[in-house]
Amino acid sequence: MSSKRFKKLPEKTLELSAQSFDSLLQTIKKNCTTKFDESIDLSFQINNKQKKGEVNIRTVVNLPGGTGKKIKVAVVCEETKSSEAKNAGADIVGGDEFIDKIKNGEMNFEKLICTPSMMIKLSKLGKVLGPKGLMPNPKLGTVTDNLKSAVADAKSGQVEIRNDKDGNIGLSVGKKSFDNEKLSKNFTAVLDALEKEKGNNTLKGDLIKSAFITSTMGVSYKIKLGKNI
């Protein structure tokens, strides 16, 4: 049963013509009628079915305006690097004992960073961390000896861009409370990251088939993209 708030939202918005991201922001924010600071979310449908196989996008993007979310970061490292991780702002730092806790299901963090020397031990927990999207990956900058930079990126607004088997990508670019310029810069950063991924994969045609914007408790609108990605 729909709430009174939801019934007041516009209907059949997906039948409307696509509009630019900037022009839709005011409409999206107007629909944010809940008492909490709703997220501004994007969803993309990509052309991942290619003749030479499927295209899988997995990368990270540093949003210049941040995400508005507090991310709990954990670091698995050798004892000699624990001080560096703590000084960088990591919420949890540990070695072998911490790995055992993760093995037993103790995963009270949103981001996991690991040094290369400890990755051999942590890689054995692929079945535990993989399904939750928490396994560190060199390509994503989460397997590194530069803990200061990795933790700072994770805390300041780094988000992962990853498609599922059907070619769907979903991520947040900020909060309703963000000013439009900050949200617009974050959106541009996401498009730039996808454009780079298109260049890294020999794709035929556009990478993005469709794009939508919504808020946590709102309705979706089609985004008109200004460039062919």
- Residue-wise pLDDT for 88-125, tens only, equals 999 999 999 999 999 999 999 999 999 999 999 999 99
* Rounded distance between C-alpha atoms, residue 60 and residue 137, angstroms: 11
SS3 (DSSP) at 86: helix
Helices (H), the chain: 4-7, 21-30, 82-88, 96-103, 116-122, 126-129, 147-156, 180-200
Question: pLDDT class for 13, splitting at 50, 70, 90?
Answer: confident
In Å, what is the CA distance from 154 to each residue of 61, 68, 96, 217, 222? 10, 12, 23, 26, 29
User: Which pTM does this prediction carry?
Assistant: 0.84
Q: In this predicted model, what pLDDT tens digit does every residue of 22-49 receive, in sequence order?
A: 999 999 999 998 999 999 999 999 988 7
Q: What was the pLDDT predicted at 3?
A: 56
Q: What was the pLDDT predicted at 111?
A: 96
The length of the chain, given as a count of residues: 229
Contact present, 35 and 133 (Cβ < 8 Å): no
The percent of residues above 90 in pLDDT, for the chain, comes to 78
Contact present, 137 and 123 (Cβ < 8 Å): no
In Å, what is the CA distance from 44 to each residue of 116, 144, 198, 214, 225? 33, 30, 14, 12, 11
In Å, what is the CA distance from 34 to each residue of 3, 5, 38, 214? 11, 8, 8, 14
Where do we find the tokens 């993989």? 130
**Domains of the chain (ranges plus CATH)?**
14-67+159-222 (3.30.190.20), 73-156 (3.40.50.790)
* Rounded distance between C-alpha atoms, residue 126 and residue 134, angstroms: 9
